[in-house]
Amino acid sequence: MSGLFAAAFLRQIGWIADVFERSPVELVGRGAGITTHPELLEALEKSGAGTRELGIEVTKRITIDRAGRVIGERPLPQILTSWDRLQRLLRSTIEPAHYHLGYTFADVEQNASAGVRVRFAEGHVAEGDLLVGGDGIRSGVRAQLAPEVQPIYAGYYIWRGAPDEMDLAPDTLRSIFPYFTFFLPPRQQVIGYPISGFDNDLRPGRRRYNFIWYRVADPQTLRKMCIDEEGHQHEFSVPPPLIRSDLIAQMRAEAEHIMPAAFLDCLRNIKRPFFTPIYDFSSPRIVFRRTALVGDAASSARPHMGFGVAKAGGDAQALAQALAGHDDIDVALTRYNAVRQPIGERIVRHGRLLGTHLGVDLKTDEDQKMCKLLQDHRAMMDWIAVPNFLGSQR
């Protein structure tokens, strides 16, 4: 997302921008849901991607208990979209000739006057005035320029998936499907919301329900979870098709004793649930001579705010604004660093506070206070993934 945003905004200020993507085939999002914020909608409009058929608008949030009773609700209109839809909108802003699949960043040589020379693992070379590293939380660009900056495991992970609307029971469709729904057992969090179906199908009956279940696991437990079906140890996470079936079976069995019927129904209808360990970090610098980091490569917050794509759009927009406002590229990049690095750091700090609900590693009085506050489901509905974080920080 950040690479596509960057290319779109740079093109608007007269630059020629090429996007190099490691994947040899068009990317697909496995049905991941994305909550939206005004900042994201603004970035989509301004980048030229637009917001047409962006997603599903829910009007309220509810919290249910184990018996499925609604114990709290809040009116809160919010558009829920999907990774696939955003990718498709942004992808359409780039001419095919400037989008290159199967290019894996290997290294960059740079000097201020001559710009950058990038080598790709497949043997290609590209030259330009500026390299924008939008290659995600495990950025290879950042690994070369700031190898000491490493994502930090939060002490918890999520099980995820998105069952098809048509497979869900009538009770599930009535009780939770139309809403942004919370279920909050001790030191866990289950969240669900409707998203579009296959190929951005927004028609009733064809949609999906985004399911997320936060669970605590110490680093040793996570390490064991990261041994795949073939016995291979992965360092950070396991590609979904390789997640061990015994782990999935154990998770399903535990859910039977924890979840209300509607969320159980969702889980039973997820054909291949997968887990994602939660990491975060913020790089102290996001500019290295003629290389600028954007999106998750620059900083990545825990997903409780649902703000990552909004931040990616904001980074890209700020980068283009800085370049448009200064004739000297190096001065512009210094400006970009000064404007966006502190914002990334603030977002990461806020994500950590929201994660205190899970009771892991509570270091400060503020952590303790926030953890206590978020035990109340009403506070949870008021704080998690709410719009206007940057505009109306409490």
Helix axes 83-91, 2-12, angle to 10 degrees: 30
CB atoms within 10 A of CB 101: 13
Which residue from 8, 10, 17, 34 is in contact with ligand FAD, where contact means CB under 6 A?
34
Angle at 110 between CA 105 and CA 113, to 5 degrees: 145
CB of 61 to ligand FAD, least distance (A): 14
Closer to ligand FAD by Cβ: residue 194 or 295:
295
Q: Which stretch binds ligand FAD (CB under 6 A): 131-139, 162-170, 222-230, 334-342?
A: 131-139
Task: Please tell me the distance from the alpha carbon of residue 126 to that of residue 360, in angstroms, as a whole number.
Answer: 44
Q: In terms of Cα–Cα distance, which of 124, 41, 115 is closest to 85?
A: 41
Which residue from 308, 314, 344, 387 is in contact with ligand FAD, where contact means CB under 6 A?
308
Task: Measure CA of the first residue to CA of the last residue in the chain; give whole Å.
Answer: 28
Task: Please tell me the distance from the alpha carbon of residue 2 to that of residue 372, in angstroms, as a whole number.
Answer: 35
Q: Which stretch binds ligand FAD (CB under 6 A): 132-140, 190-198, 239-247, 359-367?
A: 132-140
Amino acid making up residue 327: D
Work out whether 162 is an interface residue with ligand FAD (CB under 6 A): no
Which residue from 21, 84, 165, 280 is in contact with ligand FAD, where contact means CB under 6 A?
21
Give Dmax over CA atoms of the chain in angstroms: 66
Which residue from 144, 188, 200, 276 is in contact with ligand FAD, where contact means CB under 6 A?
276
Work out whether 35 is an interface residue with ligand FAD (CB under 6 A): yes
Closer to ligand FAD by Cβ: residue 177 or 279:
279
Which residue from 286, 296, 384, 387 is in contact with ligand FAD, where contact means CB under 6 A?
296
Asked if residues 259 and 267 have their Cβ atoms less than 8 Å apart, the reply is yes
Which residue from 312, 332, 347, 354 is in contact with ligand FAD, where contact means CB under 6 A?
312
CB of 210 to ligand FAD, least distance (A): 8
Element spanning 157, H or E: strand 152-161
How many residues at the interface with ligand FAD, by CB under 6 A? 29
How many Cα atoms are found within 13 Å in the side-chain-facing hemisphere of 134? 26
Q: Which stretch binds ligand FAD (CB under 6 A): 101-109, 213-221, 327-335, 337-345?
A: 101-109
Task: Please tell me the distance from the alpha carbon of residue 115 to that of residue 110, in angstroms, as a whole number.
Answer: 6
Closer to ligand FAD by Cβ: residue 284 or 325:
284
Q: In terms of Cα–Cα distance, which of 18, 315, 65 is closest to 181?
A: 65
Work out whether 211 is an interface residue with ligand FAD (CB under 6 A): no
Work out whether 82 is an interface residue with ligand FAD (CB under 6 A): no
Residue 285: C-alpha distances to residues 6, 166, 294 (Å): 18, 47, 11
Q: Which residues bind ligand FAD (CB under 6 A)?
A: 1-3, 20-23, 27, 34-35, 103-105, 134-136, 140, 158, 276, 295-297, 303, 306-310, 312
